[in-house]
Amino acid sequence: MDQALEEASKEFLVRYGGDVFPALFRSAKGTIVRDTRGRDYLDFTSGQMCATIGHNHPAIVAAVHRAGEKAFHFFSGMIPEVVAELAQVLARDWLPGDLTRSIFINTGSEATEVALRMAKMYTDGYEILVLGGSWHGITGGASAVSMASDRKGYGVPVPGIFVIPEPNAYRPYVKGADAEAEALANLDLALKLFDMQSTGRGAAIMVEPVISAGGVLVPPQDFMQALRQAADDRGMLLIFDEAQTAFGRIGKKTGSEHFGVVPDIMTMSKTLGGGLPLAAVSTTAAIEARLYERKFAYYTSHVSDPLTAEVGLAVLDVIQREHLVARANEMGAYLRGRFEELQQRYEVIGDVRGLGLLMGVELVTDRASRTPAHALGALTTQKCFENGLSMNIRRRPERGSVWRIAPPLTVSHAEIDQAIDILERALRDSLD
């Protein structure tokens, strides 16, 4: 039966362009995912970076049951009580500054579409500034602002998108340059070029507080403040995409809190649903009022679904009750320490970086040249999988080969030790 389904998966599914593991998967619990042959893997990607409270947490299972007793779905004009509650909890306990008004949809891509629609309608503009290496989603508008997205073969992109070079403390664009000074100078130049090309209809600057798919890059504090200023100077809105950074992953409630910079619009997704498709976009009461006046609308079949709202409330409750924001810092420090030990012994580990339990480990052929070790990255990731560790490698041709390590915030010391053992073995075998 397993064999037959493995064959069926090859025959009946549209094949996926990225890395696919050679197995079918059946179940998941905490940090562990299990395939149909009964093999267990440590999940150090938290699924798609969603399972921050661990897979199938009992609180999530109970929330799904609760929704089953009440309702999974209503007409979009019928606001479920649980959605009102989730909006209130977000505003009261999680959102920074004066962000208080939220809308609930399903995925991060959709959240990007909502945020861009809001910014365009609010400013009556359309020009968007984004960072190199950004990832904001795969749908039309979202992929247009995702510089880590491969557009080849998908037709004409949305016009009016401008790129700011992303800050990279380990790999400045000019070799040997002071990375932070370079990042600020690049921003200044990008803004000058933007001002030259702009039709005067700027809508937004959109950024991830930690550029994750682009290689787990943490921008300098001054850079984020400069973005805030740049948006204000031009009457544009600042959008933070907190798909990965909100709700504890980086050891703070949000990326906004980490930088002390409050955006005008914040998108949240992966970490809010804990593995179910829930996303939110939040903004200020003043922006919302103007949008309402202008009849802002975002209708989808699953806007404000009670099922996922019930789950979102449970996820936020678990993060608070289990003190997972603090735990991300504690376990992140432990994981970082273990990688720094490895770095001392392996020349190919060029950089260990990140915040909380969102870590990047950059592989190079040697420390002097910092040449990205792409083949090594692919091989070690495959060997880790063969030995029971699911890991993610981010490869960008000139910009690095980076393991992205992001286990559930509930990960234990023993699980981290086990993962490091598997990883070290994979590294040793690959270098032989």
Question: Catalytic residue numbers?
Answer: 135, 208, 241, 244, 270, 404
Using alpha carbons, select from 390, 297, 401 the residue that is nearest to residue 40.
390
The two tokens of residue 264 are 């005008």
Helix or strand holding residue 339 (H, E): helix 324-345
Q: Please, which residues have CB within 8 angstroms of residue 217's CB and are 6 or more apart in sequence?
A: 133, 166, 167, 168, 169, 210, 211, 353, 360
Per rule CB under 6 A, is residue 271 in the interface with ligand PMP?
no
Q: Which of 55, 57, 136, 353 binds ligand PMP (CB under 6 A)?
A: 136
Q: Which of 45, 168, 244, 282 binds ligand PMP (CB under 6 A)?
A: 244
The interface region with ligand PMP, picked from 103-111, 121-129, 280-288, 353-361 by CB under 6 A, is: 103-111
CB 134, min distance to ligand PMP, A: 8
The two tokens of residue 384 are 């880790």
Place of tokens 């000019």: 174
Per rule CB under 6 A, is residue 160 in the interface with ligand PMP?
no
Nearer to ligand PMP, 208 or 415 (CB): 208
DSSP 55: B
Nearer to ligand PMP, 239 or 373 (CB): 239
Per rule CB under 6 A, is residue 135 in the interface with ligand PMP?
yes
Per rule CB under 6 A, is residue 166 in the interface with ligand PMP?
no
DSSP strand E in 159-207: where? Answer: 161-164, 202-207
The interface region with ligand PMP, picked from 13-21, 207-215, 219-227, 292-300 by CB under 6 A, is: 207-215
DSSP letter string, 105-132:
ES-HHHHHHHHHHHHHHHHT--EEEEET
Over the window 222 to 241, marking each residue x when it contacts ligand PMP by CB under 6 A and - when it does not, the resulting string is -------------------x
Q: Which of 212, 256, 284, 304 binds ligand PMP (CB under 6 A)?
A: 212
Nearer to ligand PMP, 47 or 388 (CB): 47
CB 421, min distance to ligand PMP, A: 28
Q: Which of 54, 108, 377, 407 binds ligand PMP (CB under 6 A)?
A: 108
Per rule CB under 6 A, is residue 113 in the interface with ligand PMP?
no
Nearer to ligand PMP, 119 or 427 (CB): 119
User: What residues does 296 pair with on adjacent strands?
Assistant: none
Per rule CB under 6 A, is residue 209 in the interface with ligand PMP?
no
Q: Which residues from 318-347 bind ligand PMP, rule CB under 6 A?
A: none
Angle at 183 between CA 177 and CA 186, to 5 degrees: 100
β-strands 202-207, 237-241 pairing: parallel
Q: Which of 137, 141, 160, 255 binds ligand PMP (CB under 6 A)?
A: 137
Q: How many CB atoms lie within 10 A of CB 317?
A: 15
Q: Is 18 exposed, middle or buried (0-12, 13-18, 19+ CB in 10 A)?
A: exposed
Per rule CB under 6 A, is residue 383 in the interface with ligand PMP?
no
φ/ψ (deg, to 5) at 52: -70, -25
Positions in the binding site for ligand PMP (CB under 6 A): 107-109, 112, 135-138, 208, 212-213, 241, 243-244, 269
